[in-house]
Amino acid sequence: MDMDVKCGIVGFGFAFPETTRDYEEISRLSGVPAEVVRDKFGINHIYYPGHDEQTSDLAVAAAQDCLNKTGVDPKEIDLIIYFGENWGDYHIYSIGPKVQYKIGAVNAWCYQIENKCGSAIVAMEQAKMYMQTNPDISTVMLVGGYRNVDKVDYTDTSVSFLFDVSCGGAACIMKRGYERRNFLAAAAIADGSFSDAIVVPGGGTKCPFTLENINDNYLKYFRLEDPQAFRERLGKVTLSNLAKVEEMALAKVGKTLADLDCVCALHMNVKSHKMLFELLGLPLEKGTYLSDFGHVGQLDPLIALNMAEEKGLVKEGSLVGVIAMGFGYIWNGGVLRW
């Protein structure tokens, strides 16, 4: 066991559908003015899947892209952590094993985690812990697929904050002893009082589909139980919790918000993004914004980290914060040394 060994990200891989929906099409579908979708919701376009692009297909394609870009032999992979969405090819289905099989990672075992849109940060932390404590694990692939865009009803303006929901696949490979993009620490805050606030009502054990309700579209999409109460309660805590959880992660490595060189946050509307950076005490120029992707759920952190590198926002030695949150509600923060 070596708790001081560095565990870094070797590289990333991504997969996105060819089809997109731009802000004008979302405006047409929802009735929200196009300039509001673009300038307030912060959406240039989202990705939208074809019928033949399943959640697992996107995950497999991203995993293969990661292997191609990093040059890692799939036989080197000891563990695959699937951190993507559980809405997938079938109603009850494990995507991780399919990725393992399709990419030829014959020496890897795999499992899936579910922390909604904060899952990537949890997966990075778990990968690091495995590599620090298990001598048999030195190479870990993190991979996820996401197409919750299927569950967005554009005619329901009470869930307009979900109009940015997109689609794609993302992966990264972490190695023990790899010093670049070193994952340092993570923290989380949970408040289960929000656990039933936003759900897809139908298809579960509480409200199974029957001959009588199978055509009820209300049951098939994300719905808010109490839209006004949800917005009021969540609005009071969510941005402060995001800033707090990042501060908690930094404290674990003896750092503060003032030490950050860059912050990679999940996609949110323009006003919330600006308010978050004000709470962090950072200029917007020190962060990424995913207006050309939308919110790709659990994949946002990897997309944002890769974007920060491509745009030159980070360099070797930069201290990078990563921030996300998921339904339930859970807020996640992480810290990397580039």
For residue 3, pLDDT beyond 80 = no
For residue 93, pLDDT beyond 80 = yes
- As a whole-number percent, the residues of the chain with pLDDT over 90 amount to 94
- Is the domain 184-337 a CATH 3.10.520.10 member? no
Region 69-98: mean pLDDT is 96
- Residue 132, Cβ neighbours under 10 Å: how many? 17
pLDDT class for 176, splitting at 50, 70, 90? Answer: very high
Task: Calculate the alpha carbon distances from 45 to 5, 39, 49, 83 in Å.
Answer: 41, 12, 13, 24
- As a whole-number percent, the residues of the chain with pLDDT over 70 amount to 99
Query: Is residue 33 within a helix (H) or strand (E), and if so which, with residue range?
Result: none
Is 230 exposed, middle or buried (CB count within 10 Å of its CB: 0-12, 13-18, 19+)?
middle
State whether residue 125 is helix, strand or coil: helix
Region 101-130: mean pLDDT is 97
Q: What is the pLDDT of residue 51?
A: 86
* Nearest one of 276, 286, 281 to 318, comparing CA atoms: 286
Q: What is the pLDDT of residue 233?
A: 92
For residue 131, pLDDT beyond 80 = yes
CA distance 150 to 87: 9
Contacts (Cβ under 8 Å, ≥6 apart) of 208: 202
Residue 141 token pair: 């692939």
pLDDT class for 256, splitting at 50, 70, 90? Answer: very high
Q: What is the pLDDT of residue 2?
A: 64
For residue 168, pLDDT beyond 70 = yes
Q: What are phi and psi of 96, to 5 degrees?
A: -50, -50
For the entire predicted model, the pTM comes to 0.97
For residue 78, pLDDT beyond 90 = yes
Select the more confidently predicted residue: 188 or 229.
188
Maximal C-alpha separation, the chain: 60
Task: Calculate the alpha carbon distances from 132 to 2, 112, 138 in Å.
Answer: 5, 20, 9
DSSP state of 41: S
For residue 195, pLDDT beyond 90 = yes
Region 226-250: mean pLDDT is 94
pLDDT in tens, 237-248: 999 999 999 999
For residue 203, pLDDT beyond 90 = yes
Is 163 exposed, middle or buried (CB count within 10 Å of its CB: 0-12, 13-18, 19+)?
buried
* Nearest one of 98, 244, 212, 224 to 158, comparing CA atoms: 224
Mean pLDDT of the chain: 96
For residue 1, pLDDT beyond 80 = no
Q: What is the pLDDT of residue 4?
A: 82
pLDDT in tens, 57-66: 999 999 999 9
Amino acid at site 145: G
Residues of the chain with CATH 3.40.47.10: 7-179, 184-337
Q: What is the pLDDT of residue 231?
A: 87
Residue 322's DSSP bridge partners are 264, 334
CA distance 66 to 133: 25
CA distance 104 to 110: 13
pLDDT class for 180, splitting at 50, 70, 90? Answer: very high
CATH number of 7-179: 3.40.47.10
Peptide bond into 23 cis (omega under 30): no
Region 11-21: mean pLDDT is 97
Alpha helix segments (H runs only) across the chain: 23-30, 34-39, 55-70, 96-103, 119-133, 227-251, 270-280, 300-310
pLDDT in tens, 289-300: 999 999 999 999
